[in-house]
Amino acid sequence: MSETNEWDLVVIGGGTAGLVASRTAASFGSSALLIEDNRLGGDCLWTGCVPSKSLIAAADAATTARSSARLGVSASHVVVDFAQVMAHVHDAMHEIAPVDSAESLERDNIEVVLGRARFTGPDTVDVNGRELRFRQALIATGATPALPVIPGTDAVDLLTSETFWDLRTLPERLVVLGGGAIGCEIAQAMARLGSAVTLVHRGPRILSKEDERASTIIQAALLADGVDVRTTSTVTGVSSADRRSGTLTLSDGSTLAFDRVLAALGRRSNTTGLDLQRVGVRLDSYGNVLVSSRLRTSNPRIWAAGDVTGLPQFTHTAGVNASVAATNAILGLTRSFDTAAIPRVTFTHPEVGAVGLQTQDAATRGYRIVTRDHQHVDRAVTEAQTDGYTQLVVDKRGRVLGGTVVGPRAGETLGEISLAVKNRLTTSDIAGTTHAYPTYNDGLWNVAVADVRHRLGSGLVLTATRTLRRLRSARLR
């Protein structure tokens, strides 16, 4: 570490939020120190986005080979080498890792220190026994998987989204606890790779944050891939003789034999050991760092970004709010983080993408819901992938307030909807833009066209168009 006495910005945590914040500060010419106690890159690189999407790619390849008969192509036998699948997963991580490396950061004029940090005063932090002074600091320590409190779990080595990637042998029987995005993605992927998977979810439907129709489609897709989905069910007991395999007892009295159990039950913010109370940084009742809309904590010198704040826990959210926080900290601006247009994607097959207002909110507020089923999207028909739909929530003026897409590559179409929500664009803006054909994005264009036609066919607009038509007809006569 250099002998710098005071840093413009000390960033604690080297995941997405920490990387973006430190690079933002350095780009303004400020002195930036990044402190990380494990591996640079954070959850996204090592335990989240990159490994899970690599696993899903392998699972999709295996399933495509098996199911291509409907397209007139037969594959007689598919062999899954799970050790090689996981080698592919780790290769993807290490191929991307140099972008987030200490060497890369140092080229951007950011100093990196590996070690645990804790606050020792309102403007000081200790790392590896050395006290450093900062003008401002940013907390970006992320979150860790939540573990269930169930009798007997102490006797089992539960897998989490952090430890799952250490597997090298395909579990014959895998139980997944939790029907959110992580649980659904891994359950489907592992079933496609050959595990007998049971998904246990306490709620009445999986993906409960999504449109009800979307969760119904995904549950049907999981069942078609062989996942045994148990909703409205919890685990009440666990027994195991070897810490890996054993039996689960469910709330309905039934039992499940397992070889491994994956807990995908949400995440909790990492604040242990930071001594936040010493510096007056307040937490909410869930243990998240409380921040203002400008990402400032209750200590005016300290900011926070990413999963530790309790804001929507996505890599893209972490990156954007880290940029906002660092810009405000270094330049003294008052930018706010916009929570109205935060996209999210569940990378099952089909994918579910959503942003802004959803149907459950729209109906009660009098907004229109316009839907195009993918049976009427030509690209979906050509690929025999017609189970999904594209849906927009619009107001009376045609402004796009939200949307849901269910189908292959839904996340790609979601970008255009997010742009529309963010910039208050209308369905006329979308309908008036030429879209490439045939693509899954054609569903969005058709939804926009349908809404424009609806507005043209009612009220003052209808009166105006009829008047213009009559005047034009009279002139032609």
Q: Helices marked H in 38-118 — which ranges?
A: 42-46, 49-67, 82-96, 102-107
Comparing CA positions, the residue from 285, 249, 441, 421 lying closest to residue 340 is 421
What residue has token string 């930036």? Answer: 32
399: which strand partners? Answer: 426
477 found inside a domain? no
Task: Report whether 259 contacts 231 (CB < 8 A).
Answer: no
Residues 232 and 280 in one domain: no
CB neighbour class for 12 (10 Å; exposed up to 12, middle 13-18, buried from 19): buried
341 found inside a domain? no
Q: Could you tell me which residues come within 8 angstroms of residue 296 by beta carbon, excluding any fewer than 6 positions away?
A: 302, 303, 325, 328
| Residue 379 DSSP symbol | H
The letter for the amino acid at 459 is G
Residues 58 and 204 in one domain: no
Residue 53's pLDDT is: 97
Task: Report whether 397 contacts 426 (CB < 8 A).
Answer: yes
Residues 140 and 272 in one domain: yes
Residues 111 and 226 in one domain: no
Residue 240's pLDDT is: 95
Rounded Cα gap, residues 22 and 468, in angstroms:
58
Residue of higher predicted confidence among 277 and 458: 277
180 found inside a domain? yes
257 found inside a domain? yes
Residue 466's pLDDT is: 77
Comparing CA positions, the residue from 320, 319, 424, 442 lying closest to residue 379 is 442
Rounded Cα gap, residues 8 and 26, in angstroms:
9
Rounded Cα gap, residues 462 and 114, in angstroms:
66
pLDDT at 42 over 80: yes
Residue 76's pLDDT is: 65
Range of the domain at 44: 6-144+268-331
Residues 33 and 134 in one domain: yes
The mean pLDDT value for 205-224 works out to: 97
Look up residue 231 and give its two tokens: 């909703």
The percent of residues above 70 in pLDDT, for the chain, comes to 99
Residue 360's pLDDT is: 81
439 found inside a domain? yes
Residue 189's pLDDT is: 98
Residue 2's pLDDT is: 67
Instruction: Output the CA torsion sign for 432, 433, 434, 435.
Output: negative
Residue 16's pLDDT is: 97
Residue of higher predicted confidence among 214 and 68: 214
Residues 186 and 46 in one domain: no
Within 54-207, strands assigned E span 110-114, 117-121, 124-127, 130-139, 143-145, 173-177, 196-200
Residues 237 and 293 in one domain: no
247 found inside a domain? yes
Rounded Cα gap, residues 91 and 85, in angstroms:
10
| Residue 416 DSSP symbol | H
pLDDT in tens, 121-160: 989 999 999 999 999 999 999 999 999 999 999 999 999 9
Domain boundary among 213, 243, 265: 265
Residues 304 and 442 in one domain: no
The mean pLDDT value for 71-90 works out to: 88
Average pLDDT over all residues of the chain? 94
Residue 186's pLDDT is: 98
Look up residue 24 and give its two tokens: 């933002």
Residues 260 and 279 in one domain: no
We report the CATH number of the domain holding residue 379 as 3.30.390.30
We report the CATH number of the domain holding residue 13 as 3.50.50.60
Comparing CA positions, the residue from 6, 65, 57 lying closest to residue 30 is 6
pLDDT in tens, 97-118: 999 999 999 999 999 999 999 9
Other CB atoms within 10 A of residue 399 CB: 18
Comparing CA positions, the residue from 306, 323, 309 lying closest to residue 276 is 309
The mean pLDDT value for 431-454 works out to: 96
Rounded Cα gap, residues 307 and 144, in angstroms:
9
What residue has token string 């006290």? Answer: 131
pLDDT at 1 over 70: no
The letter for the amino acid at 404 is T
470 found inside a domain? no
Q: Could you tell me which residues come within 8 angstroms of residue 164 by beta carbon, excluding any fewer than 6 positions away?
A: 47, 186, 262
The mean pLDDT value for 331-349 works out to: 95
pLDDT at 401 over 90: yes
Residues 355 and 408 in one domain: yes
Within 420-477, strands assigned E span none
Residues 376 and 312 in one domain: no
Number of domains in the chain: 3
The mean pLDDT value for 302-328 works out to: 97
pTM over 0.85? The answer is yes
| Residue 166 DSSP symbol | G
Rounded Cα gap, residues 124 and 7, in angstroms:
10
Look up residue 192 and give its two tokens: 């496609």
467 found inside a domain? no
Residue 309, CA distances (Å) to 148, 291, 312 in order:
22, 7, 9
- Torsion angle of the four alpha carbons 194, 200, 204, 206, in this order, in degrees rounded to the nearest 10: -50
The mean pLDDT value for 409-419 works out to: 97
The mean pLDDT value for 285-293 works out to: 97
| Residue 135 DSSP symbol | E
Residues 107 and 221 in one domain: no
The mean pLDDT value for 242-261 works out to: 97
